[in-house]
Chains A and B, each alone.
Chain A
Amino acid sequence: MSIDLRKRRNRERLVYLLAVILMIIRVDFWWWGEEMPLILFGWISVPMLYQFGIWVAGFALVLYTVKYIWVDEQ
C-alpha cells in the first residue's frame, strides 16, 4: 500500500469516527426539556445554535472528504 493511500485511509477512518461522535453529541440531553432564553434576534436559543453547530461540523466533514479523501484516479 502506498503512503498516499495509507494516508487517505487514515483520514477516512478519522472522518467516520468524527461522524459517529457528532451523531452522539447532537443529543444535547443536558438542556433537553428546559426552557432556554431566546438570545439571538429574539427568536434563537442556545440549543438551536448548538444544533446549528452540529450541522456546520458535519458539513465540514463532507467538504474535507471531498477535498482530501475522495481522489478521482480514473
Chain B
Amino acid sequence: MSTQVIAVLGSLALYMLIIVGIGIYSSRFSRGTMEDFHMGSRDFRTIILFSAVFGANISAVTLAGVPGGAYHVGWVMWPYFASSWAWATPLLFYTVGSRSWVLGQKFGYMTVAEVVGGRWKSPTLAVVISLMLIFYTVPYLMTGLLGAGRTLEALTEGFVTLNVGMVIVASAVLVYLLLGGMRGAAWVNTFQTGIFIVGAVAIFVVIAAALGGPAEATRRVMEDYPELLSRSRMPWQQFFSYGVIVALSPIVFPQLFMRLLTGKDPKTLKQTMCIYPVPAFLMMFLMATVGMWGRTAIPGLEGAESDAILPMLLIQFTPIWMMGLLGAAAFAAMMSTMDSQLLSVTTMIARDFLSRSRLKDASDATMVRISRVLVLVLTLLALVLGFLNPIGIIKIIEFALSGFACMLAPVLAALYWKRCTSQAALWSIVASQVCLWSFEMGLLPASWRFGFLSGLPAIVVGVVVLVAVTYITPVPQDEGTREYFAIFDKTTP
C-alpha cells in the first residue's frame, strides 16, 4: 500500500469517525417518537436548518457531475445551475415553503403527498404523488453512492474498488442515520456543509496555483479547447430547459421539502433563504471552473470517466496530506444528500403508506423501529443499483430532476388555487409523466422537443392539463380546500 493510499484512508477514517461520533451524540437527544425521528421535533434553528437544506441539495452532482460535465462542455456548467437554481430555488422556499410550513405546524404534515393530498382529502392523489417521488428519489440516491465510490476508487488509485467504496460510504451514513434520525443527519450535515464549502474553496485555490494561476489555466483551455469557453458544446435550448427544470425541481425533492418543515419558526426559513444563494453560486462556480481546467491537465477522458476528474486532479496536484482532507469534502457533499434522501423515502413509506395500512394504530416506538428497518432496506437497494454502475451521474440527474419538476404544478395549485380540483392535479401528474417518459423512451419523436430537454415540454403539458381539467370539473367544495384557505388568508399574502 502506497503512502498516498494510507494518507487518504487515514484522513477518511478520521472524517468517518467524526460523523459517526456526531450521530451517536445526537442519539442522546432522541425522544423516540416518529415526529422526532423523521422531523427532529421541528426545532431546528437557522444554521442547522440551512446546513440540512443546503446539504440535502448539494450532492454528487456538484462534486462529480459538475466538474465532470465542465470537462466536456466548459464553464457553461456553472451558470447551467447557478444563474437559475441558486436564486430561484430559495425563492420557492417562500412560495411553497412558507405555506407548507404553516400546514406542517397545523396538521403535523411531513411529506409533499400529505400537503397535496390533504388539500383535497384525496388518498389516491397522495399515494400517486408519493410513488412518483420515491421512484425519482431512488436513482438520485444511487448517484450519491456512485459518486462517492468513484471518488474513493480514484483517490486510492484503485486500492478501494468502486463497490467496496460504496459499501464503506453507505455503512457510515447508515450508522448516524439509524442512531440519530433527522436530528443526527442534520447535525452531521452542519459539519459536512462546513467541510465541503471550505474544501471546495481549498480545491480551487490549490489546483489554480498548481496550474499557474486562473489566468494561465484558462489561457491553456483557450489554446487547446476553445470550444469550452465559447459554449458551443452545449445548445442554448438545453441550457434554457435545464435552467427551468433545475430551478423548479428541488423544492419538490422530498428530502428538501421535509427539511424546510423542520424549521423552528418562519424567521429561520427566511434566514436560510437569504444565506442559500451565496454558497450555491460559489460551489458551482468553483467546481465547474476546476473541471474545465482539468481538461488540459488530464486530457482524454471519455464520457462518465470525467466524473472522477476532481480526485484525479487532487492526486496529481495536491500534497498527500491534503488529499484526504479534500477528498473528505467530496464525501461530505455526497453523504449529506444520501442521508436526507434515505430518510425522506423512509418517511414517505411510513407516512403515506404504512400509516394508512393496518399499522395505522401502531405505537410510535414500533413505527420508529420499522423506519429504521426501512432505512436499511433502502440502502441495500441503492447499493444494488449502484453495483450495476450505469451511465454518468449528470444524465441520471437530468432525468430525475425532470420528473420532480413535473410535480411542482399540482403542488402550487394545492397551495394557491382555490378553483383547482383533485382530478386536475391527478391528471396533470399523469399527463406530464407520460409525456416525459414518451420522449425518453423514443415513443415521441425528438424533433417535437425543438432541441429542449424532455422535461420542459412535459412541464408545459402538465400545466395545460391542470388548467383544462380544473375548468371542466366542478368547483371544489371539500373541507380541505376550506381549511387550507382559511389558514392562508390569515397568515400569508
Residues of A at the B interface (CB closer than 8 Å) are 5, 8-9, 12, 15, 19, 23-24, 26-27, 29, 32-36, 38, 41-43, 45, 47-48, 51-52, 54-55, 58-59, 61-63, 65-66, 69-74
Contacts and interface: CB of A to CB of B under 8 A. Distances in A.
A7 to B, nearest CB: 9
A23 B247 contact: yes
Residue from A33, A58, A69, A71 whose CB has the most chain B CB atoms within 10 Å: A58
B86 A58 contact: yes
What 9 pairs between A and B have smallest CB-CB spacing?
A58-B87, A42-B215, A51-B79, A43-B218, A8-B493, A54-B83, A33-B232, A43-B214, A72-B266
B229 interface: yes
A73 B79 contact: no
A36 B218 CA distance: 12
Interface in B72-102: 75, 78-79, 82-84, 86-88, 90-91, 94, 98, 102
15 contacts: A23-B247, A26-B83, A26-B240, A27-B236, A29-B236, A33-B230, A35-B226, A35-B230, A38-B219, A38-B229, A51-B82, A55-B83, A59-B87, A62-B87, A65-B94
Contact of A12 (B86, B267, B493): B493
Given A35-B226, A63-B274, A70-B270, 20 more contacts: A27-B236, A32-B232, A33-B231, A33-B232, A35-B230, A38-B215, A42-B215, A43-B214, A45-B229, A51-B78, A51-B79, A51-B83, A54-B79, A58-B83, A58-B84, A58-B88, A62-B90, A62-B274, A69-B94, A74-B102
Contacts of A34: 230
Nearest to B208: A43
Interface string B253-280: 0000000000001110010011011100
B110 interface: no
B113 to A, nearest CB: 25
Interface in B207-233: 214-215, 217-219, 222, 226, 229-232
B283 interface: no
Contacts of A70: 94, 98, 266, 270
B387 interface: no
Contacts of A59: 86-87, 277-278, 281
A30 to B, nearest CB: 10
Given A42-B219, A70-B270, A74-B266, A55 B82 contact: yes
B91 A41 contact: no
Residue from A15, A52, A55, A61 whose CB has the most chain B CB atoms within 10 Å: A55
Nearest to B215: A42
A63 B133 CA distance: 30
A41 B94 contact: no
A35 B281 CA distance: 24
A26 B84 contact: yes
B94 to A, nearest CB: 5
B243 interface: yes
Q: Contact size class for B?
A: 35 or more
B447 interface: no
B491 interface: yes
A32 B229 CA distance: 10
Contact of B231 (A42, A47, A62): A47
Given A38-B218, A45-B229, A62 B273 contact: yes
Contacts of A12: 493
A14 to B, nearest CB: 12
A43 B490 CA distance: 52
B247 A62 contact: no
B91 A27 contact: no
A55 B493 contact: no
Contacts of A43: 214-215, 217-219
Contacts of B87: 55, 58-59, 61-62
B64 interface: no
A34 B244 CA distance: 24
A43 B310 CA distance: 20
Contact of A73 (B82, B231, B490): B490
B437 interface: no
Contact of B240 (A27, A65, A66, A72): A27
B238 to A, nearest CB: 10
A32 B232 CA distance: 7
A63 B240 CA distance: 24
B222 to A, nearest CB: 7
Contact of B239 (A27, A36, A58, A71): A27
A66 B273 contact: yes
Contacts of A27: 236, 239-240, 243
A61 B493 contact: no
Given A43-B218, A58-B88, A63-B274, A23 B244 contact: yes
Nearest to B80: A51
A23 to B, nearest CB: 6
Contacts of B217: 43
B484 to A, nearest CB: 16
